[in-house]
């Protein structure tokens, strides 16, 4: 018999306990051993968790219990779970965690501490989708050319409602929170941080890159408005918050930002709380993974997959490398990213204004691909929307500063990156 202790019995923890109980027969058949939850640890013992397992408020009851074989960490946060996971590994216990923030900061240290003790984290990225297993195992014969994915259910839910139903940002965020999709602090979702944690985990497996969130470009969906949505529709794009890892000649681009993508692409059709990840390998070509990226049961499904894998004897290192990559990939600076851009600005409706704007862009060697001018109803300003041909991030940033200095440009300039 294998005994489990769960640190954090919230939505996911309760689902793990309940599924292990209700699906005990099939899990025993698949794992070869009976799996039981011995106890769970929570901060507040008076709250009903909807589980039949024994609960305590002392993590030591799990970490230091010699009977417990596998510690499942579902607490959230970074430093406290880091301390507890470290202690559990040092005590020789296998660990399963769904904690992407913990892994975004400490995955390499934890791998080092774990050594040959299993440390698994399928549920940390894209909820129920087995994307980590796919990268570590199924795609191991490939150099990974790119990973592109909708890795945050909350923002995908919000964007879908904003785009398809014209829903208002604040209302729809409240709805996502009520449905249990959003992080405890939803800034993690809307600001792109949650997606960045997941992207960094995948980038470690695909490229061996040990980057932290502060090392990469992260932008959220806070500034998307209905003008952008209308432009995207008119020009055949969808807007999605994507995590992108792309191998180019000089290194690897890692970035999270709202992205205009062709409406005809598969990923553009992924709506609501669903996640999807496209991975291109040099041998396999494009592969695509789709499923629920948030929610108790979907995430618990991935947690339990790891538990079963450990019970079956899988001792593979968490990042998928038995020795370091000889030709390590370099993370490119934000300024080196090359892509197409959409710009939105308000300008005075007078002759010569467009010439001034195109002149400013010419200075940075930026070429316009398409353009749309929308009159404002109530004043003399018009909205100027355009897309550019591919150019370097550094150039577009400099061009935006130059454009803002023009007298004919009023207020902020919004920018959305485009992936063709």
Q: Which residue lies nearer to ligand HSE by CB, 12 or 252?
A: 12
Q: Is 152 in the site for ligand HSE (CB under 6 A)?
A: yes
Closest to ligand HSE by CB, 84 vs 101, is 101
> Minimal CA–CA distance to 237: which of 257, 264, 219?
264
- List helix spans (H) across 169-212: 169-178, 187-190, 193-207
Give the closest residue to 288 by CA, choosing from 99, 126, 120.
126
When the beta carbons of 294 and 361 are compared against ligand HSE, the nearer one is 294
With 0-12 CB in 10 A as exposed, 13-18 as middle and 19+ as buried, what is 333? middle
Q: Which residues pair with 136 in a beta bridge?
A: none
By CB under 6 A, the residues from 252 to 311 that bind ligand HSE are 293-294
For ligand HSE, the closer CB: 173 or 414: 173
- The CA radius of gyration of the chain, in Å to the nearest whole number, is 24
Nearest-CA neighbor of 179 among 204, 200, 153? 153
In the complex, minimum distance from the CB of residue 257 to ligand HSE, in angstroms, rounded to a whole number: 16
Name the residue among 339, 324, 380, 386 with its Cα closest to residue 361.
Answer: 386
Strand (E) or helix (H) holding 72: strand 70-73
CA distance 55 to 36: 14
**Residue 216 or 408 with smaller CB distance to ligand HSE:** 216
Residue 244 beta carbon to ligand HSE: minimum distance, rounded to whole angstroms: 17
Burial class (CB in 10 A: 0-12, 13-18, 19+), 52: exposed
Whether 198 is catalytic is yes
Check if the beta carbon of residue 134 is closer than 8 Å to that of residue 203.
no
In order of 5, 198, 258, 334, 337, the CA distances from 244 in angstroms are 35, 11, 11, 12, 11
Catalytic member of 100, 161, 198, 240? 198
Shortest spacing between CB 93 and ligand HSE, in angstroms: 24
The CB-of-122 to ligand HSE minimum distance in angstroms stands at: 12
User: Minimum CB separation from ligand HSE for residue 169, in Å?
Assistant: 15
Minimal distance, residue 98 CB to ligand HSE, in Å:
8
Among 128, 133, 153, 296, binds ligand HSE (CB under 6 A): 153
Q: Which is nearer to ligand HSE, 180 or 251 (CB)?
A: 180
336 to 365, contacts with ligand HSE by CB under 6 A? none
Helices (H), 95-212: 100-114, 131-133, 153-165, 169-178, 187-190, 193-207
Is residue 18 involved in binding ligand HSE (CB under 6 A)? Answer: no
Binders in 169-208 for ligand HSE, by CB under 6 A: 181-183, 189, 194
151: which 2 tokens?
């890795």
- For 138-168, b/e burial (b = at least 16 CB within 10 A) is bbeebebbbbbbbbbbbbbbbbbbbbeeebe
Contact (CB, 8 A) for 222 and 149:
no
Smallest gap from residue 156 Cβ to ligand HSE (A):
8
Cβ proximity to ligand HSE: between 145 and 271 the closer is 271
Residue 18 or 154 with smaller CB distance to ligand HSE = 154
Total residues at interface with ligand HSE (CB under 6 A) = 11
Q: What is the smallest separation between the CB atom of 181 and ligand HSE, expressed in angstroms? A: 5
Phi-psi region of 419 (alpha: psi -120 to 50; beta: other; left: phi over 0): beta
Residue 154 lies near ligand HSE (rule: CB under 6 A): yes
Confirm or reject binding of residue 6 to ligand HSE (CB under 6 A).
Answer: no
Work out whether 127 is an interface residue with ligand HSE (CB under 6 A): yes
Query: How many whole angstroms separate alpha carbon 304 and alpha carbon 193?
Result: 25
Q: How remote is the C-alpha of 125 from its chain's centroid?
A: 7
Q: Which residues are catalytic?
A: 198
Q: Which residues make up the interface to ligand HSE (CB under 6 A)?
A: 127, 152-154, 181-183, 189, 194, 293-294
């Amino acid at each position: 018999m294998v005994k489990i202790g769960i640190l954090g019995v919230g939505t996911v923890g309760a689902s793990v306990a309940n599924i292990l109980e209700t699906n005990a027969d099939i899990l025993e058949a698949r794992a070869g051993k009976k799996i039981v939850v011995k106890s769970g640890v929570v901060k507040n013992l008076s709250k009903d968790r909807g589980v039949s397992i024994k609960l305590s408020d002392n993590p030591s009851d799990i970490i230091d219990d010699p009977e417990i074989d596998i510690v499942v960490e579902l607490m959230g946060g970074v430093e406290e779970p880091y301390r507890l996971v470290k202690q559990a590994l040092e005590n020789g216990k296998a660990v399963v965690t769904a904690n992407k923030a913990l892994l975004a900061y400490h995955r390499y240290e934890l791998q080092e501490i774990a050594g040959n003790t299993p440390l698994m984290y399928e549920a940390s990225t894209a909820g129920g989708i087995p994307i980590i297993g796919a990268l570590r195992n199924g795609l191991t014969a490939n150099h990974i050319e790119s990973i592109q994915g909708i890795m945050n259910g909350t923002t995908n839910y919000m964007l879908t409602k904003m785009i398809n139903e014209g829903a208002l940002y604040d209302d729809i965020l409240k709805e996502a929170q009520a449905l249990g999709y959003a992080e405890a602090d939803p800034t993690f979702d809307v600001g792109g941080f949650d997606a960045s944690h997941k992207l960094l985990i995948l980038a470690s497996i695909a490229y061996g890159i040990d980057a932290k969130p502060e090392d990469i470009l992260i932008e959220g969906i806070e500034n998307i408005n209905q003008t952008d949505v209308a432009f995207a529709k008119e020009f055949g794009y969808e807007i999605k918050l994507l995590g992108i890892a792309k191998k180019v000649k000089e290194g690897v681009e890692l970035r999270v930002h709202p992205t205009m993508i062709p409406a005809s692409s598969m990923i553009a059709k992924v709506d609501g709380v669903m996640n999807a990840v496209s991975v291109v390998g040099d041998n396999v070509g494009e592969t695509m993974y789709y499923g629920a990226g948030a929610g108790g049961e979907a995430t618990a499904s991935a947690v339990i997959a790891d538990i079963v894998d450990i019970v079956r004897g899988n001792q593979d290192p968490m990042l998928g490398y038995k020795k370091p990559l000889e030709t390590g990939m370099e993370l490119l600076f934000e300024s080196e990213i090359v892509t197409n851009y959409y710009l939105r600005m308000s300008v005075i409706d007078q002759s010569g204004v467009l010439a001034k704007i195109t002149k400013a862009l010419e200075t940075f060697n930026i070429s316009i691909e398409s353009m749309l001018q929308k009159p404002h109803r109530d004043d003399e300003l018009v909205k100027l929307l355009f897309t550019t041909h591919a150019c370097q991030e550094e150039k577009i940033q400099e061009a935006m500063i130059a454009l803002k200095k023009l007298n004919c440009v009023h207020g902020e300039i919004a920018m959305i990156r485009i992936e063709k």
